[in-house]
Structure 1
Amino acid sequence: MTAERGAAGVPEGRVALFLTCVNDTLYPGTGRAVVELLERLGVTVDFPAGQTCCGQAHYNTGYRRDAEPLARRSAEVFAGYDYVVVPSGSCAAMVRDVYPRLGARARAEGRGDGLARELAPLVERTYELTEFLVDVLGVTDVGASFPHRVAYHPTCHGLRVLGLGDRPDRLLAAVRGLERVELPGAEECCGFGGTFAVKNPDVSAAMGADKAEHAVASGAEVLCAADNSCLLHIGGVLSRRGAALRPLHLAEILAAREDGPGDGPGTRRDAGGTEVTA
């Protein structure tokens, strides 16, 4: 099966995968799916081993100065790459939206423009996965096959900060065999919010319960999103309720093929720790 290619084609320059902490720790299959998907589209992907946390958890918890060394570290690790692809709207938003604020804050505190200059190249070259596929590669049909009923949850950072718009929808619409079902209250927050779930557990759990109920009511077999952090939260609720509906990152759907998932993106562990195969 040949994937539809846009006018942009394979970009010139070096491409790096910024996997993120959640994926590295809990969902490495998502990283493998991204690499498999991009390589299938003719892109050579590097994985800088020195990458660490982007600093989002520190920043959102109020330790904003403590986030600066992590931001500097990220800028250093990804220096020299023309494109940095992130399978997480949350972490992509941290780089694109918050890193400039870190630089502006340092300037306002009389510490000069050094931090802003260090972070600017990474800010300019960071792309959430669907942005990279649609805007840079110019492709919506990636040659995927996934014969399941799928509901899509647009996560807050992708929806409200990055403005991903219909990019994920266009990619899902081109997947062979996929039946898209509508998710009631799709644009409502799932309640995770990183440290929000820790500081406000009752509110977070209630929001997650609402999202899980809507997902089950949709009749979908799979709940898809572009952030595993949100899927972790919703998946935990679904697992505790014994729901058959399972969460799956968008990248793993886009990497799925008719000739079988192999041992990469199709195999993962759900929120309850059970190994499942797409």
Structure 2
Amino acid sequence: MKDRQYPSGPAPTQAYLFATCLVDMFVPQAGLDAVRLLEREGLTVHFPRGQSCCGQPAYSSGNPDAARAVARAQLDLFGQPWPVIVPSGSCAGMMRHHWPQLFADDPVAGPKARELAGRVYELGEFLLHVLKVDFGAAAPGAQPQERIVLHTSCGARREMGTRQHGVALVDALPGVTRVEHARESECCGFGGTFSLKHPDISGAMVRDKVAAACATGCDRLVSADCGCLLNIGHTAAHDRAPLQVEHLASFLWRRTGGAA
């Protein structure tokens, strides 16, 4: 991950949301809470209806042609020069780092992909470094104490630095204690199609992750990556492990009072 230069000057007033297919199909509340967080900071959030997948499943499975076709369908949906906010670090990483590579030799789509990639932000990154939100000041008093662990997907951690954004945002919240566990930097076993191709290995990895989180005595696991969140949450529920999961957007919205 390279250091990124963030825009100076007044904060933007318009933004796009790229919700990701997993948020859209499985965790729509996370998308709604992401919109509410942004709207509370004064942004008008636009949601292009034609958006679908970022192309990561095909790309990580070694099928760049299919990934290119999926990504190409998105390029003209975000035509205004507004930030594109993504409530998933791994999908944001795909759009920011890999879309330009997919279209490197395309004289038409290449410039579009590079320009769009420069406007892509993971949600926590945008809240922290562009809007400079102080959730410590925004949080209401008299909230219950809560112990949480963070999980960051492998791609999000290495390509977008998402973990450091989540740490900064969570640590600023009154009444929230973030604890670390022994397997925090390890993969949860989801890995997109990896969990389908290698279910036994994936299952062992996610059970190690759940056990390590539970060993801390935390109240819940928070993540900004829906694939991992679904994998960890479903495993914990299946095994009747005492671990609740929540998307970072919903966690931040809830802990800061949720009022616009």
SS in 1 for 2:135: coil
Residue in 1 that maps onto 2:3:
none
**Please, which of 128, 131, 136 is the counterpart of residue 137 of structure 1?**
131
Confirm or deny: 8 A CA contact 2:75 2:113 kept in the other structure.
yes
Q: Distance in 2 between matches of 1:17 and 1:258?
A: 21
Match of 1:241 among 239, 242, 252: 239
How far did 1:240 drift?
1.0
Deviation digits for residues 151-189 of structure 1 (CA, Å, limit 9, x no counterpart): 111221221111235221110012222122222221111
Shift of 1:144: 3.8
CA RMSD, 1 decimal:
2.1
Equivalents in 1 of 2:196, 2:28: separation in Å? 24
Give the deviation of 1:15 after TM superposition.
0.1
Deviation at 1:99, TM superposition (A): 0.7
Contact 1:13/1:83 (CA < 8 Å) preserved in 2? no
Which amino acid counterpart does residue 83 of structure 1 have in structure 2?
Answer: P
1:275 corresponding residue in structure 2: none
% identical equivalent positions:
41
Secondary structure of the 2:246 match is: strand
Q: TM-score, normalised by structure 1?
A: 0.84
Give the drift of 1:198.
Answer: 0.5
Looking at structure 1, the residues matched to 150 and 218 of structure 2 have their Cα atoms a distance apart, in angstroms, of: 9
Note the alpha carbon deviations across 1:207-228, whole angstroms, 9 max, x for none. Answer: 1011011011111111011101
Q: Corresponding residue for 2:108?
A: 114
Determine the structure 2 residue equivalent to 1:43.
43
1:80 maps to 2:94: no
TM-score (norm 2): 0.89
Contact 2:210 2:243 in 1 (8 A): no
Deviation of the 1:247 alpha carbon: 0.8
Measure the CA separation in 2 of the matches of 1:140 and 1:198.
40
- In structure 2, the partner of 1:221 is 219
One-letter amino acid matched to 1:91: C
> What's 1:26 paired with?
26
In 2, Cα distance between the equivalents of 1:62 and 1:25? 24
Contact 1:9/1:137 (8 A) holds in 2: no
Instruction: Call closer, same or farther: CA 1:227–1:77 in 2, change over 3 Å.
Output: same
The answer to whether the 8 A contact 2:22-2:226 is kept is yes
- Once residues 55 and 217 of structure 1 are traced to their aligned partners in structure 2, the CA distance between those partners, rounded to angstroms, is 36
- 2:115 partner amino acid: P
Shift of 1:10: 5.9
Partner of 1:70: 70
1:61 partnered with 2:55:
no
Question: Where does the alignment leave 5 or more consecutive residues of structure 1 unmatched?
Answer: 1-6, 263-278
Matched AA of 2:205: M
Give ranges in structure 2 of 5+ residues lacking alignment: 1-6
